[in-house]
Amino acid sequence: MTSNIPVITVIGASTIIAIYFGKTARKAGLPSLIGYMILGTVMGTSVLSLINENSLNQLQFITDIALGYVAFTIGSELNLKTIKRLGKGIVLIILAESFGAFIIVGVAVYLLTGDLPMSLVFGALAPASAPAGTVAVIQEYKAKGNLTKALYAVVGFDDGLAVVIFGFAAALAVRMLQAESSEVSSGLISSIMEPLVELGLSLGVGAVIGLIFSALARKLRPLNELPALIFGFIALSIGLCMWFDLSLILTNMMLGFVLANTTSTSSVRSIVGQLKGYMPLIFILFFFLAGAHLEISALPALGILGIVYMAARTGGLMGGAWLGAVVGKSESKIRKYLGFGILSQAGVAIGLSLMVQQMFLEIGTAHSLAIGVKVITAVTATSIVFEIIGPICAKFALSKAGEITRRNDGVT
């Protein structure tokens, strides 16, 4: 950001402009969030640099709060009765698409490079998704139906499984690299246990906070005070996640999940419905800042490795989702289209790739340092692509499944 323009001025002006960028995107048949991201990219370091890296760090809390709302919204849609009606196919889809992406990406990268530790790491990063794009598309187009419910469940729970897969694979890769340098490691078991502990604590903390929130939300009157109560609990949850190094998405998702399963459906709709007027602003800020983070200059660094990673991840996710739906006997539209709705990848994957870089930096060998650089470069560059095509594919899936009415499709 230039020194004489306060960041709040840029954010205010950008929010106003983003509304019209979003409308333009919709007229072109694209989700509004694509317009928000384009504006963010123009305002960010890639073009005008009106928002620089220091400003983005200062504004990180906005992204965290937005992700908290997205996760809460996902959780509030995960009623156990609804999930049971969708059948065992949902569980099988989550397992198949996550492990499918892990295995296919791992094998593809190994065939390309012959490097097993690097293959394990790339495979472990592949299942991580970015639920915000899918949720934004669902809410913008007011999508309803079994595919919509299935997407909420899959993008909500697969990040938890992705963290577990990453923990195991990264620990094994670290062990291999340490063995190359004859460095003895006694921390393999603890490294494997870390993601399981994080998963359990995130869900546990979210459940406790959710019980307290649900009890208070059911009794709070007037209803127009509910947005403040929801904000308070989401902010509290985010703070605890930062303090104890827990998963922001899983904790806030559990907060919404507890509400959905301890409160009547009509009350849940009434409570969550109070956010209807706030979510467009949250999505504008989130995707604008996501665009501002994008480094377009990273795209040329994709190379053959990045292309192989993108192709293998897409094939693993879509193929795995189809296989899980077929084995689980899910209905036809879920088998055909769910895979299109889970391609987005951004924050979680980039965060995990930064962890890889740090872990491999500590090993300090030429091999580990080279892997760290390749991972962070490829994942950052491919996330730009996935963040653009992911929401577009999600809209395509919901449209083909007949869960977006023509009145809401944005076409004039």
The pLDDT tens digits for 360-410 are 777 778 888 888 878 877 887 788 788 889 999 999 999 999 998 755 565
What does the pLDDT look like over 179-210, one tens digit per residue?
A: 776 655 545 566 567 767 877 898 899 999 99
Q: Where are the domains of the chain?
A: 60-287+299-404
Q: What pLDDT is attached to residue 26?
A: 87
Q: What pLDDT is attached to residue 1?
A: 43
Q: Tell me which of 196 and 114 has the higher pLDDT.
A: 114
What does the pLDDT look like over 253-285, one tens digit per residue?
A: 899 999 999 988 888 888 888 888 888 898 899
Q: What pLDDT is attached to residue 189?
A: 61
Q: How far apart are CA 213 and CA 411, in angstroms?
A: 40
Q: What pLDDT is attached to residue 92?
A: 92
Q: What pLDDT is attached to residue 412?
A: 37
In this model, does residue 91 exceed pLDDT 70?
yes
What does the pLDDT look like over 304-319, one tens digit per residue?
A: 888 999 999 999 999 9
Burial class (CB in 10 A: 0-12, 13-18, 19+), 36: buried
Q: What pLDDT is attached to residue 58?
A: 86
Has domain 60-287+299-404 been given CATH number 1.20.1530.20?
yes
Q: What pLDDT is attached to residue 347?
A: 65
In this model, does residue 77 exceed pLDDT 90?
no
Q: What pLDDT is attached to residue 90?
A: 87
The count of other CB atoms within 10 Å of the CB of residue 285 is 21
Averaged over 133-153, what is the pLDDT?
Answer: 90
In this model, does residue 97 exceed pLDDT 90?
yes
Q: Tell me if residue 292 falls in helix, strand or coil.
A: helix
Q: Tell me which of 235 and 76 has the higher pLDDT.
A: 235
Q: Which residues, at least 6 apart from 131, have a Cβ–Cβ distance to it below 8 Å?
A: 70, 71, 74, 155, 156, 159, 249, 344
- Pair of tokens at residue 262: 């301890």
Which pLDDT band holds residue 411 (cuts at 50, 70, 90)? very low
Q: Tell me which of 355 and 215 has the higher pLDDT.
A: 215
CB-based contact 175:188 (threshold 8 Å): yes
Angle (nearest 5°) at CA 144 between 140 and 146: 135
Q: What pLDDT is attached to residue 102?
A: 94
Top-ranked range on mean pLDDT: pick from 33-37, 110-114, 218-222: 110-114
- The count of C-alpha atoms lying within 13 angstroms of the C-alpha of 347, restricted to the half-sphere facing its C-beta, is 19
In this model, does residue 4 exceed pLDDT 70?
no
Cα separation values, 159 from 23, 53, 152, 309, 412, Å = 31, 27, 12, 18, 36
Smallest CA-to-CA distance from 392 within 18, 17, 25, 14 is with 25
The count of other CB atoms within 10 Å of the CB of residue 80 is 10
In this model, does residue 93 exceed pLDDT 70?
yes
* pTM assigned to the model: 0.79
Q: How far apart are CA 108 and CA 308, in angstroms?
A: 7
Averaged over 44-57, what is the pLDDT?
Answer: 84
Q: What pLDDT is attached to residue 182?
A: 64
- With a pLDDT cut of 90, the percent of the chain lying above it is 32
Q: How far apart are CA 379 and CA 351, in angstroms?
A: 10
Q: What pLDDT is attached to residue 2?
A: 45
What mean pLDDT is reported for the chain? 85
The count of other CB atoms within 10 Å of the CB of residue 217 is 23
Q: How far apart are CA 169 and CA 163, in angstroms?
A: 10
Which region holds residue 263: left if phi is over 0, alpha if psi is between -120 and 50, else beta?
Answer: beta
End-to-end Cα separation, the chain, in angstroms: 37
- Pair of tokens at residue 372: 């760290």
